[in-house]
Structure 1
Amino acid sequence: MSATQNLTWWKNVAIYQVYPRSFADGNGDGIGDLPGLIARLDYLKTLGVGALWLSPVYPSPMCDAGYDICDYTDIDPLFGRLADLDQLISEAHKRGLKLLMDFVPNHTSDQHPWFIESRASRDNPKRDWYLWRDQPNNWRASIDGGSAWTWDEGSQQYYLHFFLPQQPDLNWHNPEVVEAMHNVLKFWLDRGVDGFRIDVVHCVGKDPTFADDPRCMAGETMVQINDQPYSHEVLRGLRRLVDHYPGDRVLIGEVNIRSTARVAAYYGASDELHMSFNFPPLDAPWDPVVFRLCIREVERCLGEQSAWPTWALSNHDNSRIRSRYGGSLARTNAAAVMLLSLRGTPFIFQGDELALEDTQVNAQTRVDPGGRDGSRAPLPWLAQTPHGWSGTAPWLPFPPEAEALAVETQESASDSTLNLYRRLLHCRRESTALRLGDWQELPSHPQLLAYRRHCEDDERIVCINFDAAEHAFVLTGEWIVEVASDRHGEDQPFAGLVAAHQALILRQKGSAHEC
Structure 2
Amino acid sequence: MSHSQPGREWWRSAVVYQVYPRSFQDSDGDGIGDIPGIVSRLDYLHDLGVDVIWLSPVYRSPHDDNGYDISDYEDIDPTFGSLADIDELIAQLHARGMKLVMDLVVNHTSDEHAWFVDSRSGRDAEHADWYMWRDPRPGAVGGRPGAEPNNWGSFFSGSAWEWEPARGQYYLHLFSRKQPDLNWENPVVRRAVYDMMNRWLDRGVDGFRMDVINFISKDLALPDGEVLPTGFGDGMPFFRSGPRLQEFLAEMKAEVFDGREQDYLTVGEMPDATPELAARLTDSRTGQLSMIFQFEHVGLDQIGGKWNVGELDLRDLKRSFARWQEALAEHGWNSLYWNNHDQPRIVSRWGNDREHWYASATALATVLHLQRGTPYVYQGEELGMTNVPFDDIGALRDIESINHYATAVDLLGHEPEDVLAALRAMGRDNARTPMQWTAEPGAGFTSATPWIGVNPNHERVNAAAQVGDPGSVWAHYRRLIALRHEDPVVVQGDFRMLLPDDPAVFAYTREAEGTRLLVVANLSDDTVECDLAGDRLVLTNLPEHAGVGGRLAPWEARIYRSTVA
TM-score, normalised via structure 2 length: 0.84
Number of paired residues?
A: 504
Worse-superposed segment, 413-422 or 196-205: 413-422
Cα distance 1:224–1:414, how it changes in 2: closer, same or farther (>3 A)? Answer: farther
Partner of residue 320, structure 1: 345
For residue 495 of structure 2, give the secondary structure of its aligned residue in structure 1: strand
Q: Distance in 2 between matches of 1:83 and 1:336?
A: 36
Q: CA deviation at 1:130?
A: 0.8
Matches within 5 A, 1:291-306: 291-303=317-329, 306=331
Residue 448 to residue 234, structure 1, CA distance change in 2 (3 Å): same
Structure 2 equivalent of residue 222 of structure 1: 235
In structure 2, the residue matched to 1:233 is 247
Q: Distance in 1 between matches of 2:101 and 2:151?
A: 32
Gap change, CA 1:165 and 1:443, over 3 Å in 2: closer
**1:336-368 superposed Cα distances (whole Å, 9 cap, x missing partner):** 001111111111111111111122433333211
Q: Is the Cα contact below 8 Å between 1:403 and 1:409 reproduced in 2?
A: no
Q: Secondary structure at the match of 1:488?
A: helix
**Aligned pairs for 1:80-479 within 5 A:** 80-135=81-136, 136-214=148-226, 219=232, 221-222=234-235, 226-227=239-240, 228-240=242-254, 241-257=256-272, 259-267=274-282, 270-284=286-300, 286-303=312-329, 306-325=331-350, 326-327=352-353, 328-329=356-357, 330-361=359-390, 362-371=392-401, 372-443=428-499, 446=502, 447-475=504-532, 479=535
What CA distance in whole angstroms lies between the structure 1 residues aligned with 2:191 and 2:376? 31
Partner of 1:40: 41
Q: CA deviation at 1:245?
A: 2.0
After superposition, what is the alpha-carbon deviation per residue over 1:136-176, rounded to whole angstroms, capped at 9, x for unaligned? Answer: 33242433332211001122111111111101111111111
The CA deviation string for residues 231-278 of structure 1, in whole angstroms up to 9 with x for no partner, is: 221111111121222221121000011643344444367332220012
Look up the equivalent residue of 1:45 and give its one-letter code: H
Distance in 2 between residues matched to 1:188 and 1:443, nearest whole Å: 46
Q: Distance in 1 between matches of 2:201 and 2:117?
A: 27
- Runs of 4+ residues deviating >6 angstroms: 3-6
1:51 and 1:345 mapped to 2: Cα distance?
11
User: What is the letter of the counterpart of residue 251 of structure 2?
Assistant: G
- CA deviation map 1:369-426 (0-9, x unaligned): 1122121100111122222134321111112410111100112432211111111111
> How far apart in 2 are the matches of 1:388 and 1:123?
52
Which AA in structure 1 matches 2:252?
L
2:444 aligned counterpart, secondary structure? coil
Counterpart contact for 1:130–1:169, Cα < 8 Å: yes
Larger displacement relative to structure 2 (374-383 or 480-489)? 480-489
Q: Secondary structure at the match of 1:207?
A: coil
Alignment CA distance shift 1:398-1:486 (3 Å): farther
Shift of 1:26: 1.2
1:22–1:378 CA contact under 8 A, matched in 2: yes
Deviation at residue 444 of structure 1 after TM alignment: 7.9
Q: Which residue is equivalent to 1:54?
A: 55
SS at match of 1:185: helix
Q: Which whole-Å deviations, capped at 9, do the CAs of 1:466-499 have from their partners, x for residues lacking one?
A: 23333343357x6232221233356xx6733322
Secondary structure of 1:127's match? coil
Question: Partner letter of residue 430 of structure 2?
Answer: G
Percent identity of the aligned residues? Answer: 37
Q: TM-score, normalised by structure 1?
A: 0.92
Q: Is the CA contact (8 Å cut-off) linking 1:139 and 1:216 kept in structure 2?
A: no
Alpha-carbon spacing, 1:381–1:98, altered in 2? closer, same or farther (3 Å): same
Distance 1:434-1:104 versus aligned 2 partners, 3 A rule: same
- Matched-pair contact (CA < 8 Å) for 1:481–1:494: no
How many angstroms apart in 2 are the aligned matches of 1:224 and 1:275?
Answer: 22
> Tell me, which stretches of 5 or more residues in structure 2 are unaligned?
137-147, 302-311, 402-427
Partner of residue 29, structure 2 = 28
Deviation at 1:439, TM superposition (A): 0.8
Shift in alpha-carbon separation, 1:483–1:201, aligned structure 2, 3 A: same
**Range that drifts further, 214-223 or 433-442:** 214-223
Letter in 2 for 1:295: F
Paired with 2:131 and 2:294, the residues of 1 have a C-alpha distance of: 29
- For the aligned residues, what is the CA RMSD? 2.4
